[in-house]
């Protein structure tokens, strides 16, 4: 298991809590020095414990750093062992060793954790055996060593549960992503057959008739050639859109970064278009919502690039409330009358219907605000946490 795999939020939080526990235990232990003289060893121990406690509490990267360098955790355990031997087991600072046990149990793999625990217990027992002033009691002889072992074991249990939780989440994410990808590829195959294939078939028929028009009516031939060129260009854009849809969303990447990459990809072949991105870092992790929202945004962007005639397109990402996320695609183009959509669908253009149906699958909806001469704004709204009750695939 790599450091990255165990670097879960829960583990890092518990490591930081351990350093907070170290600081609190240290402050409590200092009360035991009210009627005692601080020795140079005790002063050095207090300085070391204070420094490590403050670093672990104040610096957010310390837990991850310890996970990448577990030798530092073992070194911390050895230092605590040395302090117990040097100061004696009846010293108040021995209580601070409990925080080291928590860190050892959470961060280190089982063999290293067992080795560190043996070192600390052995150091404690050795310190007790060579201290003639210490009264022999069950708590002094067995209580603390058993407590050290129990704390490390609890840390190991927590670490194992955190690892299994992450593995389960990853397996679930992969399963959902695979299912969504299979469904999307089926849809793409259908669209390739229903739209792109039909367009190419029409181009082939038009090209076959072109020699006839060249001989009979050169003007009609020129008009047919222009129509063929236009249709071919549109088919290429459509085909590129469908092929780019095969790219799977990287679930480890923040959603706003995936959306930005998608927007740049859709406008890459249109350098005259000025793309503006206003993307808030929305915490969107539900695989099905991410996938369908990106696919719907791709449809809206391709429509804007292909049909709007605008040289400016703006993409916004924001939260509309506590439970909804929205993507807006706005252009300053020619716009259209919503009433022409049925006729456009009869001609094989299903862009608006496509992204509307996509969002309905996850309990979202699409709103189109447009009119001739004033551009188009498409707002795609989806539930932030996943499929709403009542939505069906």
Q: How many helices and strands in the chain, by DSSP H and E?
A: 15, 5
CA atoms within a 13 Å half-sphere pointing along the CA-CB vector of 132 = 0
* Burial annotation 126-146 (CB, 10 A radius, 16+ → b, else e): ebbeebeeeeeeeebbeebbe
Domain ranges of the chain: 3-169, 249-393
**H or E element in which residue 10 lies:** helix 9-30
pTM, rounded to two decimals: 0.47
Fold of 249-393: Heat Shock Protein 90 (3.30.565)
Q: Any idea which of 127-141, 229-243, 297-311 has the lowest mean pLDDT? A: 127-141
Digit-coded pLDDT (tens) for 343-384? 655 554 455 666 777 788 778 888 888 888 888 899 999 887
The residue ranking higher by pLDDT, 90 or 317, is: 317
Digit-coded pLDDT (tens) for 60-79? 888 878 878 888 888 888 88
| 3-state SS string for 197-236 | HHHHHHHHHHHHHHHHHHHHCHHHHHHHHHHHHHHHHHHH
φ, ψ for residue 331, nearest 5 deg: -125, 160
Residue 64 CA to residue 61 CA, distance in Å, equals 5
Q: How is residue 11 written in tokens?
A: 């583990």
Mean pLDDT, residues 93-122 taken together: 86
Q: Who's near 150: CB < 8 A, 6+ residues apart?
A: none
* pLDDT of 315: 93
* pLDDT of 237: 67
Percent of the chain residues past pLDDT 70, beyond the cut: 76
């Amino acid at each position: 298991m790599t450091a990255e795999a165990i670097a879960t939020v829960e583990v890092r939080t518990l490591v930081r809590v351990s350093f907070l526990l170290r600081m609190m235990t240290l402050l409590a232990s200092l009360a035991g020095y009210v009627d005692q003289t601080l020795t140079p060893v005790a002063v050095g121990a207090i300085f070391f414990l204070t420094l490590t406690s403050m670093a672990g509490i104040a610096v957010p990267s310390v837990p991850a750093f310890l996970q990448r360098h577990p030798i530092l955790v073992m070194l911390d355990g050895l230092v605590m062992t040395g302090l117990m031997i040097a100061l004696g087991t009846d010293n108040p600072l021995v209580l601070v060793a409990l925080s080291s046990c928590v860190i050892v149990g959470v961060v280190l793999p089982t063999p290293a954790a067992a080795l560190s625990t043996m070192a600390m217990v052995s150091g404690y027992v050795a310190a007790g055996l060579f201290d003639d002033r210490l009264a022999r009691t069950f708590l002094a002889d067995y209580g603390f060593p058993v407590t050290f072992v129990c704390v490390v074991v609890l840390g190991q249990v927590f670490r194992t549960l955190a690892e299994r939780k992450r593995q389960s989440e990853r397996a679930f994410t992969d399963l959902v992503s695979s299912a969504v990808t299979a469904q999307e590829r089926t849809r793409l195959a259908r669209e390739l057959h229903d739209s792109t294939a039909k367009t190419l078939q029409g181009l082939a028929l038009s090209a076959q008739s072109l020699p006839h028009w060249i001989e009979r009516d050169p003007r009609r031939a020129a008009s047919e050639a222009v129509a063929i060129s236009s249709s071919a260009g549109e088919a290429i854009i459509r085909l590129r859109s469908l092929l780019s849809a095969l790219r799977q969303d990287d679930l480890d990447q923040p959603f706003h970064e995936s959306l930005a990459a998608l927007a740049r990809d859709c406008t890459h072949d249109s350098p005259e278009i000025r793309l503006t991105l206003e993307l808030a870092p929305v915490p969107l992790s539900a695989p099905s919502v991410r996938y369908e929202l990106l696919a719907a945004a791709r449809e809206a962007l391709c429509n804007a690039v292909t049909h709007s005639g605008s040289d400016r397109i703006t993409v916004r990402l924001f939260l509309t409330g506590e439970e909804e996320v929205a993507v807006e695609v706005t252009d300053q183009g020619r716009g259209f009358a919503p009433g022409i959509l049925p006729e456009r669908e009869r001609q094989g253009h299903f862009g608006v219907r496509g992204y509307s149906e996509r969002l309905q699958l996850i309990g979202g909806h699409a709103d189109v605000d447009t009119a001739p001469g004033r551009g188009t704004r498409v707002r795609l709204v989806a539930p932030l946490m996943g499929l709403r009750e009542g939505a069906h695939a």
